[in-house]
Amino acid sequence: MPDNPILICYDGSEEADRAIEVAAALFASHRAIVLDVGAVLTQTESIAALSPMVPGQAFEDENLDDALRTARAGAQRAEEAGFAAEARAGVAAPTWESIVEAANDVDAAVIVLGSRGLRGVRELVEGSVSHTVAEHAQRPVLIVPHATASQQAPTS
């Protein structure tokens, strides 16, 4: 599997940046595909889309553009970490299905995701993309844990 790329899920968060750093330390010999999956419609857009004056497709296109910008920023970070990286984007609900589909499409050696560190009721309510991907992917999944205060870089 050394020729297979790794799929790094990237949303621009600190957790996603940390996932890139950890992936670079573990999988430096692989090329990376950096994926951001945006929402088809945000909650606000869902309400606006009900208006006959606003086409829902316009929101989906805008969200895809935003996801591609985020994926490109993630690919840049991955290149700075030492990967040969490619940006990919999509819009989907639920997010986990799009991640698993992308991993299957590229035959990813591993899927890398950062964890937001949600616990208890908050995780139940908001859901955990990383845990759902791990449940459904037919390949290895690396979930990089949320950094603790001792692991975070000092601020200047």
Q: Please spell the DSSP secondary structure of 69-130, one letter per residue.
A: HHHHHHHHHHHHTT--EEEEEEE-SSHHHHHHHHHHHHT-SEEEEE-----HHHHHHH--HH
- pTM exceeds 0.85, yes or no: no
Whether the Cβ atoms of residue 122 and residue 153 lie closer than 8 Å to each other: no
Round to whole Å and give the CA distance between 79 and 68: 16
Walk along the chain (156 residues) and give the pLDDT tens digit of each residue. 568 999 999 999 999 999 999 999 999 889 999 999 987 655 444 444 555 555 545 667 788 888 999 999 999 999 999 999 999 998 888 889 999 999 999 999 999 999 876 555 554 444 578 888 999 999 999 999 877 644 555 444
Q: Smallest Cα–Cα separation from 25: which of 75, 72, 82, 108?
A: 82
| Domains of the chain, each with CATH number or no CATH | 6-144 (3.40.50.620)
Give the integer Cα–Cα distance in Å for 10 and 37.
8
pLDDT given at position 72: 96
Nearest Cα to Cα of residue 23 among 149, 141, 148, 152: 141
